Amino acid sequence: MSRLGRRSFLALAGTGGVTAAVGAAAVAAGVDRAPDAAPASSVVPFHGDHQAGIVTPAQDRLHLAAFDVVTDSRDQLIALLEQWTDAAATLTAGGSLSPDAGYDSPPTDTGEALGLNAANLTITIGFGAGLFTKDGKDRFGLAKHRPAALIDLPHFPKDALEPARTGGDLVVQACADDPQVAVHAIRNLARIGFGTVSVRWSQLGFGRTSSTSTAQATPRNLFGFKDGTANLKAEENDALAEHVWVGEDGGWMAGGTYLVARRIRMHIENWDRTSLREQEQVVGRDRTEGAPLSGGTEFTEPDLARAGNDGAPLIARTSHVAIAHPSRNDGVRMLRRGYNYTDGSDGLGKLDAGLMFLAFVTDPRTHYVPMQTAMARNDALAEYLRHTGSGLFAVPGGVTPGGYIGQRLFEA
Amino acid sequence: MSRLGRRSFLALAGTGGVTAAVGAAAVAAGVDRAPDAAPASSVVPFHGDHQAGIVTPAQDRLHLAAFDVVTDSRDQLIALLEQWTDAAATLTAGGSLSPDAGYDSPPTDTGEALGLNAANLTITIGFGAGLFTKDGKDRFGLAKHRPAALIDLPHFPKDALEPARTGGDLVVQACADDPQVAVHAIRNLARIGFGTVSVRWSQLGFGRTSSTSTAQATPRNLFGFKDGTANLKAEENDALAEHVWVGEDGGWMAGGTYLVARRIRMHIENWDRTSLREQEQVVGRDRTEGAPLSGGTEFTEPDLARAGNDGAPLIARTSHVAIAHPSRNDGVRMLRRGYNYTDGSDGLGKLDAGLMFLAFVTDPRTHYVPMQTAMARNDALAEYLRHTGSGLFAVPGGVTPGGYIGQRLFEA
């Protein structure tokens, strides 16, 4: 699979079998009118110490897919990861998968992103518990390498997980500023994996709900509030090392991280019937500015102790800000990278809308389970939420050219 | 409901109840940091002879919702249409619904579009057959005004319609260049309608598949082909009068049109296993350029008679281009305005992806039913398609300030 830009593909196709049908004029026009290669600014480098799509400034759109591996062949699994790595490098550079298959074969690239630029596409690949053992079987000889941190998430209070939205042996997160580019990436990876993997679930996210860079404005979630103000940012290197990346003692996971994926249905109709005062007290911030109710502006540190005239804390102890605050959670922070979703209606006259929560953490045992337990139990916001899908994935470190994602696991 | 810009809302909220909680500093910051009002170029005028969102250059994203009316009260229905009209005028101008409800009431606007501009939002409202008679009942005294063109669509060959994706007494099409703006519009209209309507189905479209202006490049569908090359364009006034708008003799529907909405699942996995040659023969165009197989470039008129060396037409008689060509359909054309969709997986290991087909026509009896019948029977492309949802809606003409959408129907 060679790495051709989408422009090159057009030129190539124009000189190939297509010519016979459409004539030389069309070929010339095709080349002349081909869109330019993606501008450099829209390309996120694929290779590096860490996979892209984690500290990359959050793109606008998401397509996330979890796959079941349907083969027991270790070689076939490795071949898939090699192919996915190769394809991801091509697609994130704005290229099309090479069309050398010929006119009488199916096109190698499905084509719906022809003419679009890379749109900051990132492709991030992770491994679920099922890759290590599934139904008690060690299909790929990987069981002994399952990291202790790749736990089976406990059942949290109020969880309402649907099996068809939960789990997966592999996950691929495609983020881009153009949804067609993200969908194209997932679709082509699914296609490459035909016979090796099958799509278990997939989720489109139409708008980012978190900033992962200080250069980004804080977006709003479907409760109408700014979300992710206190998020870890790409610029906080020390904090990333502490809270996101697996350290050098992490074996094959060194330089990796864990992705917690939770599909959280938001009961927006109930929320919409709640007074602004109540909404702000539930969140612990004002809606307009996103400032903590203890005063200041959006980026002012919340003062959980500050009391109002009535002696009660201005930020209620059960508010989302208080429950999630590092001071109440042993200082842990997470890198959130979630997306708003809307999936039609729920069959009961309401929109099925919410948050595809995505967070990257160094260890979910310390950085997710305790906080989610507290939130599900005590967070006033939990009344308006229902977790309907869930996945936990070990996301290995990045690759250099010639390597493939997860190679250190298979060579461990 | 007054018409305040989103910036005005921020200022207003800042001087209201929020002040008490966050202090004067936050208010000042809130106003200073409020995003600018929507630039004029991102606002599509709401008022006019026709509703916006029809010949408006197709925006990038769609949220479409069909509603059941759950009241039998004509007054309540009229009040809803008045409120929707008012809200649509505000939202399409980039405003928030006015927050005069006060701090101890639910916010009037749900808020997730605060800080976003109008993003060319259009809101287009239509009436399904159920508004005129439902289960044999004339709930609103409208039965006698049901237009003959608002037929019950026949069952087409290969239809696999799901009731939960079909029908609806009212439809709202929200299109915008920012999906959060489109979702915000549907959600707020649904909310305004609480107690009067309930969401029957809704569909997000992540990418437009048609151009409706000669200034727009032709996008690609999920088969990887350019779609809508021969679409009716906003610039073709005579053709629009002939094929899209209802004429002055149309009674209360004068200046209106009919929206055909079809959710078309695309069997992309089967398509992806088809050779490029076969794909192009099925479509009747080449994939790279979108030129008809009879030669030329994208916008060359297809020559259905031109034969190749083997004597057979270069554009196969069963190709999509041939079947859909006006010359094979009594000269009819339609204004297509569809969107690609991806809705997770189908539970069988495949992506649930396809096209939310939207077309505006002057009369579905002449401009949709015959062509769809031919397509379902003979179009080679139909093998890769399954219609899973359907709706037909009478879209009344536009309004002037002070009026409401559909007013002429209720005053007829």
Share of chain A above pLDDT 90, in %: 84
CB contact under 8 A, B349 and A221: no
The pLDDT assigned to A268 comes to 93
Residue B225 with chain A: CB contacts under 8 Å: 111
Residue of B277, B235, B229 whose CA lies nearest to B57: B235
CB contact under 8 A, B287 and A18: yes
Query: What is the value of pTM for the model shown?
Result: 0.91
Q: Is B259 helix (H, G, I), strand (E, B) or coil?
A: strand
CB contact under 8 A, B344 and A204: yes
| Whole-number Cα distances in Å, B282 to B28, B218, B253, B314, B379 | 62, 19, 38, 11, 8
CB contact under 8 A, A296 and B351: no
Residue of A246, A228, A254 whose CA lies nearest to A57: A228
CB contact under 8 A, B349 and A23: no
* Mutation target vs A (from B64, B109, B289; most A CBs, 10 A cutoff): B289
Residue B263 near residue B203 (C-beta atoms within 8 A) = yes
ipTM of the complex: 0.90
The pLDDT assigned to B6 comes to 59
The pLDDT assigned to B229 comes to 86
Q: Which carries the bigger pLDDT value, residue A352 or residue A28?
A: A352
Residue B103 with chain A: CB contacts under 8 Å: 275-277
Shortest Cα–Cα distance, A311 to chain B (Å): 14
In a 10 Å sphere around its CB, with 0-12 CB exposed, 13-18 middle and 19+ buried, how is residue A340 labelled?
buried
Q: A130-150 pLDDT, tens per residue?
A: 999 999 999 999 999 999 999
- Which residue spans within B9-142 are E strands per DSSP? 61-69, 95-97, 122-127
The pLDDT assigned to A100 comes to 66
Is 90 exceeded by the pLDDT of residue A99?
no
Residue A111 with chain B: CB contacts under 8 Å: 220, 223-225, 287
Shortest Cα–Cα distance, B343 to chain A (Å): 7
The pLDDT assigned to B101 comes to 74
In this prediction, residues A43-70 reach a mean pLDDT of 97
Residue A13 corresponds to which amino acid?
A
Residue B66 near residue B171 (C-beta atoms within 8 A) = yes
- H-only helix segments in A95-206: 179-192
Residue A277 with chain B: CB contacts under 8 Å: 17, 103-104
Tokens (6 digits) for B122: 């259009």
Q: Would you give per-residue pLDDT tens digits along chain B (412 residues)?
A: 334 455 444 333 333 333 333 333 332 222 222 334 445 569 999 999 999 999 999 999 999 999 999 999 999 999 999 999 999 999 999 999 986 678 999 999 999 999 999 999 999 999 999 999 999 999 999 999 999 999 999 999 999 999 999 999 999 999 999 999 999 999 999 999 999 999 999 999 999 988 889 899 999 999 999 988 889 999 999 999 999 999 999 999 999 999 999 999 999 999 999 999 999 999 999 999 999 999 999 999 999 999 999 999 999 999 999 999 999 999 999 999 999 999 999 888 999 999 999 999 999 999 999 999 999 999 999 999 999 999 999 999 999 999 999 999 999 9
CB neighbours of residue A386 within 10 Å: 16
Closest alpha carbon within chain B to A68: B349
Q: A222-270 pLDDT, tens per residue?
A: 999 998 888 999 999 999 999 999 999 999 999 999 999 999 999 999 9
Q: B127-183 pLDDT, tens per residue?
A: 999 999 999 999 999 999 999 999 999 999 999 999 999 999 999 999 999 999 999
The pLDDT assigned to B30 comes to 28
Closest alpha carbon within chain B to A191: B269
The pLDDT assigned to B18 comes to 33
CB contact under 8 A, A112 and B224: yes
* Mutation target vs A (from B64, B71, B105, B180; most A CBs, 10 A cutoff): B180
Closest alpha carbon within chain A to B9: A288
Q: A159-195 pLDDT, tens per residue?
A: 999 999 999 999 999 999 999 999 999 999 999 999 9
The pLDDT assigned to B83 comes to 98
In this prediction, residues A341-362 reach a mean pLDDT of 94
Shortest Cα–Cα distance, A315 to chain B (Å): 10
CB contact under 8 A, A295 and B23: yes
In this prediction, residues A349-367 reach a mean pLDDT of 96
Tokens (6 digits) for B395: 């879209």
The pLDDT assigned to B23 comes to 31
The pLDDT assigned to B29 comes to 27
Work out the mean pLDDT of chain A and round it to a whole number. Answer: 90
Shortest Cα–Cα distance, A309 to chain B (Å): 11
Residue of B356, B392, B359, B391 whose CA lies nearest to B206: B356
For residue B359, list its beta bridge partners: B260, B336
Kindly give the pairing relationship between strand B3-5 and strand A351-361: unpaired
CB contact under 8 A, A289 and B26: yes
- H-only helix segments in B244-333: 268-271, 276-283, 320-324
CB contact under 8 A, B206 and A273: no
